[in-house]
Chain A
Amino acid sequence: MIVFDEVQKSYQVGGRAIPALHPTSMTIETGEVFGIVGHSGAGKSTLVRLINLLEPPTGGRILIDDENITGYNASELRAFRRKVGMIFQHFNLLSSKTVADNIAFPMKLAGIYSRTEIRDRVDELLQRVSLVDQANKYPSQLSGGQKQRVGIARALACRPTILLCDEATSALDPQTTQSVLRLLADINRELGLTIVLITHEMDVVRRVCDRVAVMDAGEVVEMGAVSDVFLHPKHPTTRDFVFESENIDREEMQQDLQHAKGRILRLTFRGESTYTPLLGSVARESGVDFSILSGRIDHIKDTPYGQLTLSLVGGDLDTAMQALEAADVHVEVLR
């Protein structure tokens, strides 16, 4: 469990303190995939670097499994960092070492593993990230996705309990992003590792995260379960991110709504109700006519969801809305 207790960070620039993170309190549960989303400069890089103290906080306490890591001395800090893996946007592999040597590097630094232990662990990790054939290549000979997989294997070498991902998929193409995210999800499930992931893409959050914090200008402006934040964003920044990830142009949407007749509703289905043939039966029973203005059916992590914007004309609107709500559909009246 990672607990932020009024943690803050500011940088001294020309004698003045520029805040990068305003006092923040939050808890990241053991074994969850926690996403931090924000535009560049929002403070998310700072936030993730506070967890392994690459950036020391200027105020507050950070507790990891009830231990105050901000009180560590240099050698305690180094021992602690071995239990926290980290992967990076630009992979940060050593170009002078082979794939196998890169993965072995943190174990060699730790100085507590025998040669055979290191060799066995490297073999195991190469298999885990499907890079057995590339063991003796140098990073420059690999593709971006392969490099990130080496990064992941390296981060896992000392069997950490926390994995920090700093924009780990931002330099990858969409397909490679998917495979890397799948690998992260597998690792989280199979090893029970806590993953803290920062990104500027809401789609990444939607695919792998359990909970998410949205950051804006050095502050966490919204936090909660991904399905709640994603389907019912409250803060304007969150809304921007959600719209962006769904490719919705807000002005266009407004225009569409102006053309539509009658009542406009947004329905949100979650889980099993996504697959229930509901709209037809509700329309028949209440006598309303509907047209679909926009919609999306997808997954949030493993949960299916659907979100439809409808315009309803004629019939008994109240009955229709009651019937929808009774079927566990979240109904918002947009007009």
Chain B
Amino acid sequence: MEALMESLFTNVDWTEIGWASWDTLVMVGMSLLFSVLIGLPVGVLLFLFGKRQLLEQPIAYAVLSFVVNVLRSVPFIILLIVMIPFTVMLIGTSLGVAGAIPPLVAGGAPFFARLVETSLREVDRGIIEATQAMGANVKQIVFGALLPEALPGIIAGITVTAITLVSYAAMSGVVGGGGLGDLAIRFGYQRFQTDVMVITVALLVIFVQLLQMAGDRLVLYFSRR
């Protein structure tokens, strides 16, 4: 078995693969955490400021929506490069695992914010009305009714965001980010080591599969409809 692995994957350094996988995990995990921390409140505000919603604010909505759209319309590979000076300012380097996280958040947070806005819109207006009729203020409506009711949709949104971040994280290898993408580009692409390429791609596929499965389970668990 070991001999077979040796002959098939001559170029593969398994320790290196292990570290790269770990780096990818850290990049996706950290950027997902910050994307949710930033995207969730932004999504809630987008919803509340929207037309005929609780805090209808056409100007605030337009501004917020514009910022989100700008970040979402820039292709991620360009965002990575454009963000370099800002990233250096923020954490001192644009390289490695840490350097990849700010652009990942810049790509992931607005994406997730839109998903949050959409899932909040899916909540039956009647439930908002009923909660209002009970004498709830906006904060109570958001935390007591809207977010719990939209939870399955928000979890599905986190799953989709996480998967998007996996591919973004791999892309960051192009500008010196770490992880499996970096490995794939440096060894698989630039040194024509097809076996490394195959392994990294396989690992990414497995990673995405696991995320989707976990996400689906959680959605099912929290769906009471």
Contact = CB atoms under 8 A, between A and B. Distances in A.
A97 B140 contact: no
Interface residues of B: mostly helix, strand, loop or mixed?
A: helix
B149 to A, nearest CB: 5
Contacts of B10: none
Interface stretch (A76-84, A194-202, A309-317): A76-84
Interface in A61-120: 74, 77-82, 84, 86, 88, 90, 92-97, 105-106, 108-110
Contacts of B136: 78, 109
Interface residues of B, number: 21
Given A88-B126, A90-B126, A108-B144, A96 B222 contact: yes
A243 interface: no
Contact of A94 (B127, B129, B222): B127
Contacts of B133: 52, 54, 81, 84, 86, 164
A78 B135 contact: yes
Interface string A127-156: 000000000001110000000000000000
A188 B219 CA distance: 42
Contact of B137 (A78, A80, A97): A78
Interface string A22-48: 000000000000000000000000000
B135 A92 contact: no
Contact of A82 (B124, B127, B135): B135
A102 B212 CA distance: 31
Contact of B149 (A54, A81, A96, A108): A96
A192 to B, nearest CB: 21
Given A93-B127, A96-B224, 13 more contacts: A74-B137, A78-B136, A82-B135, A84-B133, A86-B130, A92-B126, A94-B127, A94-B145, A96-B149, A106-B135, A109-B134, A109-B144, A110-B135
Interface of A: 52, 54, 74, 77-82, 84, 86, 88, 90, 92-97, 105-106, 108-110, 138-140, 158, 164
23 contacts: A74-B137, A77-B135, A78-B137, A81-B133, A84-B133, A86-B130, A86-B133, A88-B126, A88-B130, A90-B124, A92-B127, A93-B127, A94-B127, A94-B145, A94-B148, A95-B149, A96-B224, A105-B131, A106-B134, A109-B131, A109-B136, A109-B144, A158-B134
Interface of B: 124, 126-127, 129-137, 140, 144-145, 148-149, 151, 222, 224-225
